[in-house]
A = this chain, B = another copy of it.
Amino acid sequence: MKQISIRQVQDLKQHDCEKEIQEVNLRVTPARVATLKLFESHDKPVDVLHLTDHLQKDLGIDRVTVFRIINSFVEKGLLKKLEFQEGKARYELNKGEHHHLICQNCGKIEDVKDTVIPDFEKKIAKKYKFLVKSHSLEFYGFCNDCQK
């Protein structure tokens, strides 16, 4: 069986990111590819400070640019903006409908698959004549470890 090297995996990733950016009609720039790559290698919602930490220090990408890139990614539907009552936004790749469990003690964020919202949305559309475009659902409390 033919193996592919780490190098090749990274190239694939690089190529995927470039393609994704191109597909939403944004120019493929090093800053954008690096940002999207960061999200691909992160499965939890991150805030901008966390992103700039790496992007600015290691790649010299400006804070402002990171904000602008993220806004364009959100606008194009690549990212989803989240707010966990922290006074700042978090972002995650916009794939797979799910919600979040946020531990108020240790800050751990867990994903929960959605089982109820699509039905609820239909009811809302009918009853309130409201056209739902997106939603956000978060649960705050204590994770298994922090209940002790």
List residues of chain A with CB under 8 Å of any chain B CB: 81, 83, 85, 87, 89, 101, 103-104, 110, 112, 115-117, 119-121, 123-124, 128-144, 147
- Determine how many copies of this chain the complex contains: 2
**A130 touching B101 in the complex, CB below 8 Å, given contacts A121-B139, A135-B137, A136-B137:** yes
A91 → chain B, closest Cβ, in Å? Answer: 11
- Report whether A124 and B144 are in contact in the complex, using a CB–CB cutoff of 8 Å: no
Which residues of B lie under 8 Å from residue A121 when comparing CB positions?
Answer: 139
Which residues of B lie under 8 Å from residue A135 when comparing CB positions?
Answer: 137-140
- Report whether A130 and B139 are in contact in the complex, using a CB–CB cutoff of 8 Å: yes
- Report whether A130 and B115 are in contact in the complex, using a CB–CB cutoff of 8 Å: no
Q: Which residue of B lies closest to A112 (CB)?
A: B124
A103 → chain B, closest Cβ, in Å? Answer: 8
User: Whole-angstrom distance between the alpha carbons of A95 and B75 in the complex?
Assistant: 35
A39 → chain B, closest Cβ, in Å? Answer: 18
Which residues of B lie under 8 Å from residue A83 when comparing CB positions?
Answer: 83, 85
